[in-house]
Structure 1
């Protein structure tokens, strides 16, 4: 999912940090920085892996019927925690609070499929890729306009996107002449299109597919000649934490070469074939 940091006040970060859910263990106290970290593990708190997420992107990461974290990222993190021999704690935050929270050392890594943009690399570090993304344009189901970029890249058209996301940046790049409206909730951005208040929305294809399942006959993928973008999401870690980054890269390479990544992707995304991942392991 691709996704850009937005400034947050300290108060808002603190409040959001308390909207947290836990995978497998009790959540550590909200609003307090960890201390006594183990430099050898790369973790702020030895024996605990604390992860910032935004659990609203089914099937990649979401809350299930029992209000528990679920999805591809969660399955992969559980596998990672087992591999490292640590306890996993997941903090569920507003998307815009993830990078500021990571910088403030509220958690060890962010797992929300961030694209490693040059802007983000200035303030945080990234692992190798762990999830592929295809970005598309969602339009109203009965939209009969020609499926071309120029159709929507005109003054008077409105394109929506998730605030702070790579989709927002891609919308600016692909439709510079159109009006861009951003929302802190992905469904809110899509609802603008479904209700006719916007002409299209830029997002990953799997997120659109999930919306379509829950809201049939509202939106469709514009039949553009090719996707707006093909990119890969990575885990984000605190700037300069090479110890943890190296451990994560070792784990991801192992998971990629032994087929674990593909197996989890096919299970959670409900597909028969997993997209190819970048070479280099």
Structure 2
């Protein structure tokens, strides 16, 4: 997604103004695929429970980003976010209703109470905070450097930051910007396809590629023994995504934060993340629980 991995005010706006701001603050991640399931009624029970409709948690999503959130072969929602939401619904004792929408319709839909929350790994930027509220972080996005299997370059940023080094990235992604920022002396080459960027590395035409660790893990699974994660002492970047709720809905925000703290402390976030994303490491999450 690839997002600014993952990658993050309190005034009310009129519906027209809010929709305009929303169109500006949503970073495009991709197209949509229509909604599935029923939509919770606007208004409704926004008091003690914080839900639009008592007994149902309606969630806006964009199911296009495997393995975080996607439609499986049977056309059913799957992925890290979906597994967490099922656990959340069970914890709250409510039915889960997932609405699969175009990414750009998520914040406007949340504001107009088409659903109770948005789960798409949004970063809590200042602009977004003007029109919606956020929970604490629930998903980390770790950017790493992929190198050819068996690469013997010293495991330091400086070793790759040379004029003779070629670093690839997905065109228009946060990885591309991160590559330019981290390796300003290297030659950064962008590709329209992530696999093409990694193929340059596996064939020796490039020295490394900047991307998120779970994308690398997916590539390694499909193409074993071609590329590996460089043994740098720390990730190139670490960002987080949060759940979004309607502005001022403290009742629901508090419930979601309580669930996330419990899931973080008891290892649920870690076990779900490492299992679904196919990675060994779970980055440190923000404290405060």
> If the length of structure 2 is used for normalisation, what is the TM-score?
0.68
What residue number does 2:87 align with? 79
CA contact (8 A) 1:128 1:234 kept: yes
* CA deviation string 1:119-170 (max 9, x = no partner): 54455432112233432023455877665535357599564247565x4553
What residue number does 1:19 align with? 34
Q: Which residue, 229, 232, 237 being the options, matches 2:237?
A: 229
Give 5+ residue unaligned stretches, structure 1.
Answer: none
Sort the Cα spacing of 1:164 and 1:217 in 2 relative to 1 into closer, same or farther, 3 A.
same
Question: Tell me, what secondary structure is at the counterpart of 1:81?
Answer: helix
What residue number does 1:242 align with? 250
Give 5+ residue unaligned stretches, structure 2.
Answer: 9-20
What residue number does 1:207 align with? 215
What residue number does 1:49 align with? 58
What residue number does 2:6 align with? 2
Distance 1:157 1:139 in 2: 11
Distance 2:123 2:196 in 1: 25
Distance 1:198 1:101 in 2: 38
> If the length of structure 1 is used for normalisation, what is the TM-score?
0.69
Q: Which residue, 87, 101, 114 being the options, matches 2:106?
A: 101
Distance 2:179 2:80 in 1: 26
Offset, 1:77: 0.2
What residue number does 1:28 align with? 38
Sort the Cα spacing of 1:160 and 1:251 in 2 relative to 1 into closer, same or farther, 3 A.
same
CA contact (8 A) 2:62 2:100 kept: yes
CA contact (8 A) 1:128 1:249 kept: yes
Offset, 1:199: 6.2
CA contact (8 A) 1:138 1:200 kept: yes
Distance 1:125 1:163 in 2: 28
Distance 1:180 1:43 in 2: 47
Distance 1:237 1:153 in 2: 45
Mean Cα deviation higher: 155-164 or 217-226: 155-164
Sort the Cα spacing of 1:249 and 1:164 in 2 relative to 1 into closer, same or farther, 3 A.
farther
CA contact (8 A) 1:160 1:198 kept: no
CA contact (8 A) 1:140 1:194 kept: no
Question: Tell me, what secondary structure is at the counterpart of 2:287?
Answer: coil
Sort the Cα spacing of 1:17 and 1:225 in 2 relative to 1 into closer, same or farther, 3 A.
closer
Alignment partner of 1:131 is 2:139? yes
Q: Which residue, 194, 199, 202 being the options, matches 1:194?
A: 199
Alignment partner of 1:256 is 2:264? yes
Sort the Cα spacing of 1:93 and 1:257 in 2 relative to 1 into closer, same or farther, 3 A.
same
Offset, 1:116: 3.3
Offset, 1:53: 3.4
Sort the Cα spacing of 1:84 and 1:191 in 2 relative to 1 into closer, same or farther, 3 A.
same
Offset, 1:194: 1.2
CA RMSD in angstroms comes to 4.0
Offset, 1:78: 0.5
| Structure whose CA Rg is larger | 2
* CA deviation string 1:166-217 (max 9, x = no partner): x45534532456557475xxxx224233146876443221221112101234
